[in-house]
Structure 1
Amino acid sequence: MKFVSWNVNGIRACLKKGFLDYFNEMDADFFCIQESKCQDGQVELDLPGYEQYWNYAERKGYSGTAIFTKHTPLSVKYGVGDQSTQEEGRIITLEYEDFYLVNVYTPNSKRDLARLDYRIEWEDELRGYLQSLDEVKPVIYCGDLNVAHEEIDIKNAKANIGNSGFTEEERGRMTTLLGSGFTDTFRYLYPTQTDTYTWWSYMNKVRERNIGWRIDYFIVSDRLQEKIESAEVHASILGSDHCPIVLKIK
């Protein structure tokens, strides 16, 4: 099965920049997007063969997630726990016979770290949720997780220590998650690969010079490790300040 995850930074804008060309080319079983930035009725996607599940943020032009899938789920859940996370449309869970698929757009702690405490509460609550699912059946967890886990995952590590997305607290929560029965699929296959990123600032020529961060992930239950076939970063695909990532799993 093929899974794609992409923070599109506004699906309506991305549609004008080749989204459907890439979508059709990938022919994925599951295509997850984050930061859709739209409300119900603001965009209509004609995706033959796919069911569509959207979690819209109440605030216009903000956050939001969606999953497009060829496979009808056993159940669908929007949000988890704290009501504000549901108001921001950040989580969709699809249940299947053999696994759960969880698509997430993690809150940014903000440049001045004003939302760091909220972010850490979010991380702890989400980890508990993922662990509860994992007790039932394996989990495939993906999305823009807004953290570069290790120094290898960011171009200028030393200059960014303590900045939003690279704080000790955020990185530590990722370490805790991965230590509680979950695997970062890309690092599992490529433990030492450098200069592979999924997000670049819109500042002048930053992407051209590959000054980026790896903050988009496919994370799976440890017992799925042997089923991982490939984990790819499609850095050449434009249309957003993030690029798509792809997981193939048996």
Structure 2
Amino acid sequence: MELLLISWNVNGIRACVRNGFLDFLEKYKPDILALQEIKATEDNIPIEVRYYPDYHKYWNPAKKKGYAGTALFTKIEPLNIKFGIGEDKFDSEGRVITAEYEKFYLVNAYFPNSQHGLTRLDFKIEFDKLIHSYLNELRKKKPVILCGDFNVAHKEIDLANPKQNVKNAGFTPQERAWMDEFLQDGYIDTFRMFTKEGGHYTWWTYRFKARERNIGWRVDYFVVSEELKDKVKSSWILSEVYGSDHAPIAMVLDI
């Protein structure tokens, strides 16, 4: 069975709905859709999204209004759903949803941003390490898919201006070192299975016509535990889809 999975940081679900979210859903019809940065509680979600047919929907908003949060739309009903990773300072920001399916776990994550001045770098690295341990525990039971906005460009090839950003949030040596360590532990960045060259990004600042000029960062990922590597048929960026400062990413899994 081939499954189409899509992950998208929508930068506010209400704004994204005004900018074509429902058309996107109608066009691509993913089997599983993982959303990050929904910036809304369930009762603030537009009614046409809340009651959109054919999907089981799960919402994990932050306690703070209009901030962070994740959501999951899935045509296949999960065996189990879990919100969070067991640490309140992260879980109160609605950063993780785990769906258990028959043959794998899907973890939808919105990693913290290290922020201007790196004021949240320690918080981010703590989250990175905790989710890594969490995935390793899940993996003892079933293969794992991790998707979402990791808020890090892994290598120089993953952003347009690496030299200028070495000390900036999302490209610090500490964040990149964690990504190295994580992938070396038997996890695969699926996009790089199919695309080796640079110039492919998932986030662009709204300023300076950055998207038009393709001055961006690749910070959104579909990662699989290596047991699933042979099941991944394609992994790409839906760069034609607007509606957020991020493009959605997609993966086809034959499982």
1:24 aligned partner: 26
2:12 aligned partner: 10
Q: Structure 1, residues 184-203: CA drift from partner, whole Å, max 9, x if none?
A: 0001222x221000000011
Q: Does 1:133 align with 2:135?
A: no
Contact 1:81 1:125 in 2 (8 A): no
d(CA) in 1 for partners of 2:167 and 2:208?
Answer: 23
d(CA) in 1 for partners of 2:86 and 2:179?
Answer: 19
Unaligned runs of 5+ in 2: none
2:37 aligned partner: 35
Q: Structure 1, residues 148-186: CA drift from partner, whole Å, max 9, x if none?
A: 000000000111112100000001111111011100000
2:151 aligned partner: 146
1:39 positional shift: 1.2
d(CA) in 2 for partners of 1:241 and 1:2?
Answer: 22
d(CA) in 2 for partners of 1:40 and 1:198?
Answer: 26
d(CA) in 2 for partners of 1:36 and 1:76?
Answer: 18
RMSD of aligned Cα (Å)? 0.7
The 5 A counterparts of 1:34-113 are 34-43=36-45, 44=47, 45=49, 46-113=51-118
d(CA) in 2 for partners of 1:73 and 1:160?
Answer: 40
1:10 positional shift: 0.3
d(CA) in 1 for partners of 2:44 and 2:99?
Answer: 23
Match 1:165 to one of 170, 195, 200: 170
Q: Does 1:195 align with 2:199?
A: yes
Match of 1:213, SS? coil
Match 1:246 to one of 222, 234, 250: 250
- Give me the TM-score of the superposition, normalised by structure 1: 0.98
Contact 1:196 1:214 in 2 (8 A): yes
Q: Structure 1, residues 104-139: CA drift from partner, whole Å, max 9, x if none?
A: 000001011011111111111110001111111000
1:40 positional shift: 2.4
Q: Does 1:209 align with 2:205?
A: no
Q: Structure 1, residues 195-230: CA drift from partner, whole Å, max 9, x if none?
A: 000000011211110000000000001111111111
What is the aligned residue count?
A: 249
1:237 aligned partner: 241
d(CA) in 1 for partners of 2:36 and 2:42?
Answer: 15
d(CA) in 2 for partners of 1:188 and 1:236?
Answer: 21
d(CA) in 1 for partners of 2:61 and 2:52?
Answer: 19
Match of 1:85, SS? helix
Unaligned runs of 5+ in 1: none
d(CA) in 2 for partners of 1:200 and 1:150?
Answer: 17
